[in-house]
Amino acid sequence: MTASARSYGVAAALLLALGLTACTPGDDTPAPTSPVVQLGAPGEENRTLSPEEAADIEQPEHTDADIAFMQMMIVHHDQAITMTEWVDERTSDRDLRLLAERMRVGQEDEIELMANWLRDRGTPLEGDHMSHAAGSMPGMLTEDQLAELEGATGEDFERLFLEYMIQHHNGALEMVADLRAAGGAMEISMGRFANDVEGDQGIEIARMQQMLAALDS
């Protein structure tokens, strides 16, 4: 086997192994529960790795970008939860109340997940960058925007909430994109969480856009 073919095979095996283990709950280095197949280079046959060979495949580790992302996303989620807590007193719209409640519960659960992720890796919940990061995070509302939302009621509140939460969610998606551009989200649990943020918040953005269009129709 040539050196290039050997490199191709190792990389392919790693990718396939990560794909098989990423869906397995538990810690970041789960034992494969299905055979791991090393894809052969072009013109060569695939090979099934032994359990020992599969276990020796090195798993990607977390990066400084992952840590900073988790620390900042806790603050980002916390502001969204504050926004959802104003909903019940400012609108009687049932759909918006249900949406806000789902957001609050979901983001509280994710804050707990992120805090545990950081603790498990021996890193603080807040980094040195946090003193100035909140105001510069994508999607974060300014103090004036928060005050405007808190002071609104009825349909005015509903429209502002949807507009500002769409802004907030788009900011979270931007943070995920920045994380990947910085080489993060390669650790299995980190990649899974980044995918969940993209999926969940993307769905919620689409729903809020529909609700906003209904208000304006």
Cα separation, 130 vs 188, in Å, equals: 25
Q: Say what the pLDDT of residue 43 is.
A: 67
More confident of the two residues 48 and 28: 48
Counting beta carbons within 10 angstroms of the beta carbon of residue 38, is it exposed (0 to 12), middle (13 to 18) or buried (19 or more)? buried
Q: What average pLDDT score do residues 60-85 get?
A: 96
Q: What average pLDDT score do residues 48-75 get?
A: 83
What are the tens digits of pLDDT across the range 140-188? 999 999 999 999 999 999 999 999 999 999 999 999 999 999 999 999 9
State the residue for tokens 């021996």: 122
Cα separation, 27 vs 14, in Å, equals: 18
Confidence band of 56 (pLDDT split at 50, 70, 90): low
Tell me the percentage of the chain whose pLDDT exceeds 70: 73
Confidence band of 136 (pLDDT split at 50, 70, 90): confident
Q: What average pLDDT score do residues 181-208 get?
A: 96
Domain 64-216: what homologous superfamily? Ferritin, core subunit, four-helix bundle (1.20.1260.10)
Cα separation, 74 vs 17, in Å, equals: 30
Cβ-count burial 91-122 (b if 16+ within 10 Å, e if not): bebeebeebbeebbebbeebbeebeebbeeee
Structure tokens at 11: 């990389």
3-state secondary structure of 61: coil
Q: Say what the pLDDT of residue 45 is.
A: 73
Cα separation, 156 vs 162, in Å, equals: 10
Domain coordinates in residue numbering, the chain: 3-55, 64-216
Q: With CA atoms as reference, report the closest residue to 171 among 129, 142, 192.
A: 142
Q: Say what the pLDDT of residue 81 is.
A: 98
Q: Say what the pLDDT of residue 42 is.
A: 64
Query: Which residues of the chain form beta strands (DSSP E)?
Result: 37-38, 47-48
Q: Say what the pLDDT of residue 59 is.
A: 76
Q: Say what the pLDDT of residue 41 is.
A: 59
Confidence band of 13 (pLDDT split at 50, 70, 90): very low
Q: Say what the pLDDT of residue 55 is.
A: 61
Query: Is pLDDT above 70 for 102?
Result: yes
Confidence band of 18 (pLDDT split at 50, 70, 90): very low
Query: Is pLDDT above 50 for 97?
Result: yes
Q: What average pLDDT score do residues 41-53 get?
A: 70
Tell me the percentage of the chain whose pLDDT exceeds 90: 66
Cα separation, 127 vs 44, in Å, equals: 49
Helix, strand, coil share of the chain (percent; to 5): 70, 0, 30
The answer to whether 62 and 190 have CB atoms below 8 angstroms apart is yes
